[in-house]
């Protein structure tokens, strides 16, 4: 049996992040949280100044963290309303391009499975740019999926 690590594309496969969670919110509610600017700013990136779930829409925003600026550059590449949205995720300061996909699947009437996939992290050359290492993205996505988004949804539901 051949180990995955011996395959030429192992680096890309090893860098991929997939996180799937079930949330206590219907698909329509989840879609709003993922695509409406005012809601995204509450749980995702409050630095966002513009966002439209339309193929070709581009935005950029700066996140300042621990003395470093991270100018995010996003471009929407796929939109299937209330099912899936994908955008390219780049940084102005370094070469590379990754892609983030949020996929929604209903689980009954009031719950939704959200699967986040982030591919292409190896293009940021984390050996040369250690701040862009996979573990840092895992930490960020875990925070969003396990804390920030569920807390936002609970707060919104309680109103």
pLDDT the model gives residue 26: 97
Distance CA 95, CA 128 (A): 11
Residue ranges per domain, the chain?
7-158
Beta strands at 112-119 and 17-23: parallel, antiparallel or unpaired = antiparallel
CATH architecture of 7-158: 2-Layer Sandwich (3.30)
Q: How would you write the pLDDT of the chain (159 residues) with one tens digit per residue?
A: 444 344 444 467 678 999 999 999 999 999 999 999 999 999 999 999 999 999 999 999 999 998 999 999 999 999 999 999 999 999 998 999 999 999 999 998 899 999 999 999 999 999 999 999 999 999 999 999 999 999 999 986 554
Q: Which two tokens stand for residue 150?
A: 């569920």
CA–CA–CA angle 49, 52, 58 (5° rounding): 70
pTM: 0.89
Measured from the Cβ of residue 19, the count of other Cβ atoms closer than 10 Å reads 15
Distance separating alpha carbons of residues 9 and 26, to the nearest angstrom: 37
Cβ atoms within 10 Å of 133's Cβ, excluding its own: 15
């Amino acid at each position: 049996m051949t180990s995955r690590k011996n395959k030429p594309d192992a680096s890309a496969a090893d860098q991929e992040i997939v996180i799937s969670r079930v949330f206590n919110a219907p698909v329509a509610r989840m879609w709003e949280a993922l695509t409406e600017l005012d809601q995204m700013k509450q749980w995702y990136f409050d630095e966002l100044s513009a966002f439209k779930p339309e193929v070709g829409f581009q935005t950029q925003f700066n996140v300042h963290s621990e003395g470093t600026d991270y100018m995010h550059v996003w471009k929407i590449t796929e939109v299937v309303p209330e099912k899936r949205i994908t955008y390219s995720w780049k940084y102005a300061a370094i070469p590379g391009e990754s892609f983030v996909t949020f996929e929604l699947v209903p689980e009954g009437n009031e719950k939704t499975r959200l699967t986040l996939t982030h591919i292409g992290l190896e293009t940021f050359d984390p050996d040369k740019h250690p701040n862009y290492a996979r573990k840092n993205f895992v930490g960020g996505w875990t925070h969003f999926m396990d804390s920030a988004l569920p807390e936002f949804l609970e707060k919104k539901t309680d109103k």
